[in-house]
A and B are shown apart, each in its own frame.
Chain A
Amino acid sequence: MAAPMELFCWAGGWGLPSVDPDCLAVLTYARFTGAPLKVHRVSSPWRSPSGRLPALKTRDEGTISKTQQIITHLRKQKYNADYDLSATQGADTLAFVSLLEEKLLPVLIHTFWVDAKNYVEHTRKWYAETIPFPLNFFLPNCMHKQHVERLQLMWGDGYMEDEEKLEKELYRDARECLTLLSQRLGSQKFFFGDSPASLDAFVFSRLAPLLKAKLPNGKLQQHLKSLQNLCNYCTSILSLYFPWDGGEMHPQPHTAPLGCPPQKKKKKHHETQHWCLAALCSPQVTSPPVPRGLGVPRVATQRRTPTSGATSCCRCWWGWQPCWATPS
């Protein structure tokens, strides 16, 4: 049996196993197919072998970083969620993924990373609190600039400067895309019947952060919440395939997994410990644009066996492990 592949992805938050849409797409696909992955939920791309997230570390082909390439690799390893689809359904998958990537994803990026209120009060705050010190001082802004540049190249400068035009055309297209998805889904459980496919992984990964995040400026979010079948769709996938919030990944059978014991209490205990120890380690900084609170060193959680609950506690990003960190 081959050694399990290792997946590095952004940490969970807002009630989701990962906050990043691309990481969430890969995680969801792996859950649908039962691919045995060792998941490392990390708090900065520097912990990833390729420097980017998501990243799949394979035995034979090195590290793969693009979402589509990771899914293609999993398919080659016989973890194929589209196995039962007809040729027309396969073609529809390609078309709807294009629709998502062209019309919805850029506007999602704008909502989370460029809209001033959302970025400052929600996105930057979360990333600054999650990313370890001292990366948390500049990495969120770096990511923000990358996203702004990407949107400028995709849309042209005219849209970025003209709020009205942006709202009228691009947000309107995104709302239309959500409505189209809702119409296509109808009252089905998944897009192609009763079994999930790769399209479901993509749709879920784009919709779930929009649904779950508590955005101050939520015009697109309001529209999604008005489409009841899409909300139910996201909630049911979360409860079926990620029954515990940000929990560890276990190999699942193809049908819906149930009955894995939740690890919430254990995680909260460790989280509290991390926070207290971080308070001892790092000084408070209050001047803007430093985030409120501290750069809490978050740990790249490893797969925990029942006896090794004490591993990987409060290891700061530079690898130092204080001797008092081991819980009793």
Chain B
Amino acid sequence: MWNEGCVLLMGCSAPFSLKAFLQMCNLPVRVVCRANAEYMSPSGKVPFIHVGNQVVSELGPIVQFVKAKGHSLSDGLDEVQKAEMKAYMELVNNMLLTAELYLQWCDDVTVEEITHPRYGSPYPWPLNRILAYQKQWEIRRKMKAIGWAGKSLEQVLEDVDQCCQALSQRLGTQPYFFNKQPTELDALVFGHLFTILTTQLTTDELSEKVKNYGNLTAFCRRIEQQYFEGHDKDNSGTAAPRSAKRSLLR
């Protein structure tokens, strides 16, 4: 995982989702930050976990790996609910994740003021600029492939709003998406929403979209309180500087 000091949305939502998921499974986890985490990962993507002599990257495969070891959050769901859970996870990946990427790499103001400096911060000049441009080019090509390159910022924010509305509808007044017990979907949604709400960007428009839905912000606070507050003390030796710690509870 990257240094927690970096404020890249994409770099942080997945680790938060994963951490929430592992806490929900009652599996102890030690967080370690490295600048070259992307290169250490077998698939080139963060986060990844190192268990014994196995290394597994990305949330999907990690969930499968943990399930194979006998820990699963969605065993209590029936077939229809499992289908709905998978569908909503894809919705979050399709809309929220892509919107985060768009904002970081395709919005010129954010790119210039935040993304390039932060992404290149571990490296000396000129490597910091070269790597940042390379990543930006790669992301923009991908956006073009999925049809997001032609979208304006307003349209992207509109999509985020639609996604949040759908999640808010589905959550309703329940504590978790599938009533009493948290599932992988809760972990994933928490990771993304928490990151959006706590990351400082050039504008607050993205976090305002999420804040419009009271039950979603309450959901994030509840999960943070239940699964993160107590456990942070255990990680104090290895976690990033305290000053960069994010929280919704302040």
Contacts and interface: CB of A to CB of B under 8 A. Distances in A.
Nearest to B141: A153
Contacts of A101: 94
A180 B87 contact: yes
B83 A91 contact: no
Q: Which one of B79, B83, B86, B166 has the greatest number of beta carbons of chain A within 10 Å? A: B83
Contacts of B94: 98, 101-102
B84 interface: yes
A96 B86 CA distance: 9
B interface, over-half SS: helix
A116 to B, nearest CB: 22
A95 B91 contact: yes
Given A96-B87, A102-B94, A184-B80, A91 B167 contact: yes
B102 interface: no
A180 B162 contact: no
Contacts of A219: none
Contacts of A94: 91, 162-163, 166
Interface string B101-132: 00000000000000000000000000000000
A88 B169 contact: yes
Q: Give chain B's interface residue range (CB within 8 Å of chain A).
A: 20 to 34
A150 B149 CA distance: 13
A150 B145 contact: yes
A158 B57 CA distance: 15
A94 B82 CA distance: 16
A92 B145 contact: no
Contacts of A181: 83
Interface in B3-52: 43
Contacts of B146: 153-154
B147 A186 contact: no
A154 B101 CA distance: 14
Interface in A172-204: 176-177, 180-181, 183-184, 186
Interface string B181-192: 000000000000
B80 A186 contact: yes
A64 to B, nearest CB: 13
Interface string A128-168: 00000000000000000000011001100010000000000
A98 B170 contact: no
A177 B87 CA distance: 9
A95 B172 CA distance: 16
B90 to A, nearest CB: 4
Interface string B141-161: 110111100000000000000
A95 B166 contact: yes
B88 interface: yes
A99 B86 contact: yes
Contact of A98 (B80, B91, B145): B91
B93 interface: yes
A150 to B, nearest CB: 5
B62 interface: no
A117 interface: no
Nearest to B167: A91
B95 interface: yes
A88 B171 CA distance: 9
A66 interface: yes
A98 B83 contact: no
Given A180-B86, A184-B83, A91 B145 contact: no
A183 B79 contact: yes
B165 interface: yes
Given A99-B86, A153-B141, A183 B91 contact: no
A98 B146 CA distance: 12
A91 B142 contact: no
A197 B237 CA distance: 54
B182 to A, nearest CB: 18
A91 B166 contact: yes
Contacts of A66: 147
A323 interface: no
Given A99-B87, A99-B90, A180-B83, 20 more contacts: A87-B169, A90-B169, A91-B166, A91-B170, A92-B84, A94-B162, A94-B166, A95-B90, A95-B170, A98-B87, A98-B94, A99-B91, A101-B94, A102-B94, A150-B145, A153-B142, A154-B142, A180-B87, A184-B84, A184-B87
9 cross-chain pairs, A with B, having the tightest CB-CB distances, nearest first: A91-B166, A153-B145, A95-B87, A180-B83, A98-B94, A91-B169, A98-B91, A183-B79, A99-B87
29 contacts: A66-B147, A87-B169, A88-B170, A90-B166, A91-B165, A91-B167, A91-B170, A92-B170, A95-B87, A95-B88, A95-B170, A98-B87, A98-B90, A99-B86, A99-B87, A99-B91, A102-B90, A102-B94, A150-B145, A153-B145, A153-B146, A154-B142, A158-B43, A180-B83, A180-B87, A183-B79, A184-B80, A184-B83, A184-B87
Interface of A: 66, 87-88, 90-92, 94-96, 98-99, 101-103, 149-150, 153-154, 158, 176-177, 180-181, 183-184, 186
